[in-house]
Structure 1
Amino acid sequence: MDAEQLINAITPEAYERLLFAVETGKWPEGTPISQEQRDSCMQAVMLYQSKYNDDAQHMSVAKGGEISFKSKADFKKQFQPGQEDIVRVNPNHDV
């Protein structure tokens, strides 16, 4: 099976399982994976992302194979739309 056939065979559900395995070292059911399995899963995840990832997260492979790096501030802003900057408040500080 070549890379294109592999990418086309991966469903979004299978991709989520592979991604979970890469991130945690085990399958969603809790079964541990070997380092060889983890390496293979990571290759499959990167191939899948290179074709379908239109919204690359912090340090991931974007569509087209480009590696995408987002700053921590950009990554945080993604979860709080409309907020220009994240302000840290010290609750123990008197104003």
Structure 2
Amino acid sequence: MTLDDLIKSINPEIYQNLKTAVELGKWPTGQKLTEEQVGLCLQAIMHYESSNDLPDADRIGHISRESMPAHKRKRAKEEEQLKRSIAVQQLH
């Protein structure tokens, strides 16, 4: 079985179980995840999310702008505008 096959075999229930295990740091049996297991689970979660086109807000590690302090939201918005401006300039 390849990594792609394994990722394709993950269903929403397995995906949620992996997320819960990483969040709690332990398997449903109570056994602690090793650092390697955490890393592998995170990779599987990210591959699943990208393969299933989950909205950004539902993806692991997503931070909404609303939860940011006002000064950081302003800076993030300015950086986004600058990136768009540079992308437009590169098209010309």
**TM-score, length-scaled by structure 1:** 0.56
Separation in 1 of the partners of 2:59 and 2:13? Answer: 22
Asked which structure has the greater RCO (Cα within 8 Å, sep 6+), the reply is 2
Root-mean-square deviation (CA, aligned residues, Å) is 2.6
| Paired positions, count | 68
1:3 aligns with 2:17: no
Structure 2 vs 1, CA of residues 38 and 73 (structure 1 numbering), >3 Å: closer, same or farther? closer
Structure 1 unaligned regions, length at least 5? 62-67, 75-95
3-state SS of 2:19 partner: helix
User: Which structure has greater helix proportion?
Assistant: 2
State the partner residue of 1:84.
none
Structure 2 unaligned regions, length at least 5? 69-92
State the partner residue of 2:48.
48
**TM-score, length-scaled by structure 2:** 0.58
Moved beyond 3 Å, runs of 4+ = 58-61
Offset at residue 58 of structure 1 (A)? 6.8
Separation in 1 of the partners of 2:29 and 2:53? Answer: 25
Separation in 2 of the partners of 1:20 and 1:53? Answer: 20
Offset at residue 70 of structure 1 (A)? 2.6
* Higher deviation after alignment, 27-36 or 42-51: 27-36
